[in-house]
Amino acid sequence: MNPVTTTTPAPGEFHVVGDDIRDEAAPTGPIERRWDDRKFNAKLVNPANRRKIKVIVVGTGLAGASAAATLGEAGYQVVSFCYQDSPRRAHSIAAQGGINAAKNYRNDGDSIYRLFYDTVKGGDFRSRESNVYRLAQVSVNIIDQCVAQGVPFAREYGGLLDNRSFGGVQVSRTFYARGQTGQQLLIGAYQALERQIGAGTVEMNTRHEMLEVILVPDADGTERARGIVVRDMVTGEIETHTADAVVLASGGYGNVFFLSTNAMGSNTTATWRAHKKGAYFANPCYTQIHPTCIPVSGEYQSKLTLMSESLRNDGRIWVPKKEGDDRPASQIPEDERDYYLERIYPSFGNLVPRDIASRAAKYQCDDGKGVGPGGLGVYLDFQDAIARLGRPAVEAKYGNLFDMYARITGEDPYSEPMRIYPAVHYVMGGLWVDYDLQTNITGLFCTGEANFSDHGANRLGASALMQGLADGYFVLPNTLADYLAASPFEKVADDHPRVVEARQEVEERISTLLKINGTRTVDSIHKELGHIMWEYCGMERTAEGLTKAVGLIRELKNEFWTNVKVTGENEELNQTLERAGRVADFLELGELMCIDALNRAESCGGHFRAESQTEDGEALRHDDQFAYVAAWEYDTAGEGKTPILHKEPLEYEYVEMKARSYK
């Protein structure tokens, strides 16, 4: 870890400022050569030595499954963990619309550089140039890899792979498999993983949840990640597993809001445990609000359903021009409809980036023009597309999405417009990693949505699948080899003091949860946390609201640890205990998210501060003050109450930082 120099907080401040940090692994030179040079200069591990090296991979989504399969095929001993009953149930399977790649099959002006530029601009100039350019480079290899695996991408009449466009771009670069791209890509990665399980290079542990990371010092005092502590979710047995390196690919933390598009089990425990052991948590306030979700239907709803952004290719978004107009959509004539995205952003229209489309929908509903229950919805209308293309063509592209909408709402989207409203979806924040995907803890790597590295303040649609597979198939296998060239390290026994200590920490935390025996359910506290987060740290934030939220979360955290009721025992299948541990971590993370949002007194991407906007309501950045990655260190002395902020300055050589405009 870097040495820490802190300043004393002034009254009312929630954090202290530490030393600036740098990505020491980042290469220099021409940007188009950096990744190739890094790969060439990386140390290699010969095949005979790989068989002696063990790597733990936590998570089996696109990033985790592709990493475990690739490392297993390279000959390493891989031990894989997931909390689901099958790797195929990872939340990556829910992704719908597509995966980006700079293939330029449409000959419409796309290129690696344009994908790089669109991604940096889409992230509101808050991401690293080197990382994003590498992502664009690797994207072209991902498609070839997946086609070779048999992923059934959509094809044109002549047999060539088809493309569609997504928000924030003016080219067609998104490869897709109807509205189930994530499912098809995950099946491809899963098959590769299962092949290695069959070959004996990967050991699969399902229904196991990581609850702690094990750090062991070398002879020279360097703390290295050497293992994890997991709980067998069926028997309750606490197990310790050691290895030469640990890879976290455990996904995002959107469920801190309770209602989100994430799977119910998605959580932050793996990354938060690493954070509390010293790993920096970067940009936690950067949350993506997705503009096309089915609106909330009632108080007892436990999650939200995403309707793919790909629908914005052919669907038109509108609201009634007249406030309070509650007529059915079919009775509102064309001249009384406001296609507001096409009106405000004529260059991009319905394909503006997600953060802009989400705020625009919120503003329409705030102005009383929303549709559906509570006026919390806007129309996504396919009547023009059906008239232009014919219903069979629309069914071929989006049929499964239309069927899903009909099953959930009881409405027919072929005859009536869909109703949509923004909802929490993806998170751009995560563990801080360097160019090699290594955290500031030696030997602890982090991939996919669990890290912060590529998307800045807002992720462009179809880039999540791209990053997950880029990290797992192409980036990590090269950079991890460079680290493992110095291994195998000295074996860590099960009775090593650090292993025993980590196990005891987990056992004590579980015991504490079971002993509280209060009166409130875990879900009631989680739901209250979600209300606080959505109200004060959601689509729009203010200094006053964020300050209030920190106080409310601290009160709720105290309520949790004194009055929550966790039934059952550890030595059994106990889903209440599972949820309790996750909510305990969400409470701490939620507080840090609000502190990060309060510190970042600017608007950028998914982080919109009401005090920082242009005259026409667009996000107003302050590059002179906030052009940095906010990397937070857990304050062990203060039990996290005064987190330490380390700033990594962002420098742009190839893209000019300017006001983002899609008009």
Structure tokens at 324: 């309070």
Please answer whether residues 181 and 162 qualify as being in contact, where contact means their C-beta atoms are separated by less than 8 angstroms: no
Q: Residue type for 628, please?
A: Y
38 closest CA partner among 133, 171, 141: 133
432 closest CA partner among 54, 18, 133: 18
The alpha carbon of residue 434 and the mean position of all alpha carbons in its chain are separated, in whole angstroms, by 17
Please answer whether residues 457 and 354 qualify as being in contact, where contact means their C-beta atoms are separated by less than 8 angstroms: no
> Could you tell me how many helices (H) and strands (E) the chain has, helices first?
18, 20
What DSSP string describes 234-303? TT--EEEEE-SEEEE-----GGGGSSSSS-TT--SHHHHHHHHTT--EE-TT-EEEEEEEPPP--TT---
Q: Which residues, at least 6 apart from 32, have a Cβ–Cβ distance to it below 8 Å?
A: 112, 133, 137
Q: What is the dihedral of CA 514, 430, 263, 592, to 10 degrees?
A: 50
What DSSP string describes 370-417? --SGGG--EEEE-HHHHHHH-HHHHHHHHHHHHHHHHHHHS--TTTS-
Cα 311–362–625 angle (5° rounding)?
Answer: 105
Q: Please report, for residues 239, 513, 554, 559, 580, the alpha-carbon distance to residue 516 in angstroms, rounded to integers and kept in the order given.
A: 24, 6, 18, 11, 11
Cα torsion angle, 234, 238, 243, 245, sign:
positive
Q: Which of 89, 354, 582, 609 is catalytic?
A: 354
Surface-to-core class of residue 491, CB atoms within 10 Å of its CB (0-12 exposed, 13-18 middle, 19+ buried): exposed
Surface-to-core class of residue 143, CB atoms within 10 Å of its CB (0-12 exposed, 13-18 middle, 19+ buried): buried
Is the bond preceding residue 87 a cis peptide, omega within 30 degrees?
no
Give the H or E element holding residue 516.
helix 497-516
Give the H or E element holding residue 202.
strand 202-205
CA 84 – CA 78 distance, rounded (Å): 18
- Beta strand 238-242 pairing with 54-58: unpaired
In terms of phi and psi (left: phi > 0; alpha: psi -120 to 50; beta: otherwise), the region of 391 is alpha
155 catalytic residue (yes or no): no
Q: Please report, for residues 241, 365, 590, the alpha-carbon distance to residue 498 in angstroms, rounded to integers and kept in the order given.
A: 12, 54, 29
Q: At what angle do helices 129-149 and 181-199 cross, to 10 degrees?
A: 70
Structure tokens at 52: 């002696």
Beta bridge partners of 607: 604
CA 541 – CA 615 distance, rounded (Å): 17
Please answer whether residues 233 and 573 qualify as being in contact, where contact means their C-beta atoms are separated by less than 8 angstroms: yes
Per this entry, what is the length of the chain?
663
Q: Residue type for 186, please?
A: L
Q: Residue type for 397, please?
A: K
457 closest CA partner among 310, 650, 267, 257: 650
Alpha-carbon Rg for the chain, nearest whole angstrom, is: 24
Residues designated catalytic = 354
